[in-house]
Amino acid sequence: MTNAEIRQILQTLPADSPFFHRSVFGRTSAATAFQDCLDIAYFELNIGWKIAYLYYHADEPLPAFIEQTSIRRCYYHVSGISDPAISEARFLDETNTTQSRLARAMLFDRGSSYESIADYLKLSDEIVRLNAELFFNVHDRLDDPIFVAHHLYPETRAVHLMPDYVQQESAEWIMRRLAYEHGWRAAAQFAGTEPLDDSSQSIDKQAEALERLSISNGMLFARAGCLNSKESPAIQNARTMVAARRKAAGNHPEVIDPLMQLSFNPEYSKLFQKTVTEEALTRLRSDHEISGAEQGGELPGNK
């Protein structure tokens, strides 16, 4: 379900709906602001399942305005009319297998579809869609940055500053973030279902991507106040990469990088000189020539 559909349902449900029962959202009294319940409910991932189950549990029919097929099927299922597809979708949500973890992570990939996820995980389209709409409603809501941040970075990106982040954070949380930031294949590589060697990209392209990611990461944490931290790997890695680019620029010291304002340890460039590709060096020189021509009012090839 999309954000618009969920908001419409929540705003149309009456205040005394079983869905807003005080025990569901921790309401200690009837005086608890109804708007608070709406705000909490909006971020629920299993909102479809919860609506169906709570109306069944209260022995009330679903409101007529709820037209979503998945919720209606779920209501009949919990009422005793067995629906095998919903049973499988629920099983997928409740298990902690590589397949289930990867299914949840792939739903954070904006480039994936229910069909492509089902095809990769060897599941039916129906099960993947029911799982997403009833138990892990993420994929149709990726256009809301607040919703995404709430479920990927509830404590902000500062989590990446934790020592031994990969060892301390759960594998599934890492996979979800990888899928959102870099696509489902990165999550699959982390899960071990895809080869680590990505033959779809050249070594030069991968080195360039690593350089870009390191500098972007370093810039973020530099702006966040970690610039003077001696123990920030993000800053140190960024400095290393920029030093390597500075070395590669050779006779073009005026070529400025975003982190040139940082202080550099000259030894960093020695460690990474060999990672700078000829393609990157050519691009830097080309950019410098174009910049110089623009300043002189002439571009290469123009008379």
186 found inside a domain: no
Nearest-angstrom CA–CA distance, 15 and 3: 20
pLDDT reported for residue 159 = 84
Nearest-angstrom CA–CA distance, 292 and 252: 11
Give the domain extent around 6: 1-82
Q: Long-range contacts: 158-162, Cβ < 8 Å, 24+?
A: 158/224, 160/217, 160/234, 161/221, 161/226, 161/232, 161/234
Under DSSP, is residue 195 helix (H, G, I), strand (E, B) or coil?
coil
Which residue, 82, 107, 133, sits at the end of a domain? Answer: 82
φ/ψ of residue 273, rounded to 5 = -55, -40
Task: Work out the average pLDDT over 112-127.
Answer: 96
Which residue, 32, 49, 82, sits at the end of a domain? Answer: 82
User: CA torsion sign, 100 to 104 to 105 to 110?
Assistant: positive
Nearest-angstrom CA–CA distance, 274 and 234: 21
Among 38-52, 103-117, 141-155, 284-298, the least confident range = 284-298
- Beta strands (DSSP E) in 34-88 are none
% of the chain beyond a pLDDT of 70: 73
pLDDT reported for residue 290 = 52
Number of domain units in the chain: 2
Which residue, 33, 55, 82, sits at the end of a domain? Answer: 82
Amino acid at 209: A
- The candidate with the shortest Cα–Cα distance to 89, out of 64, 123, 43, 62, is 123
pTM: predicted TM-score of the whole model, two decimal places: 0.71
62 found inside a domain: yes
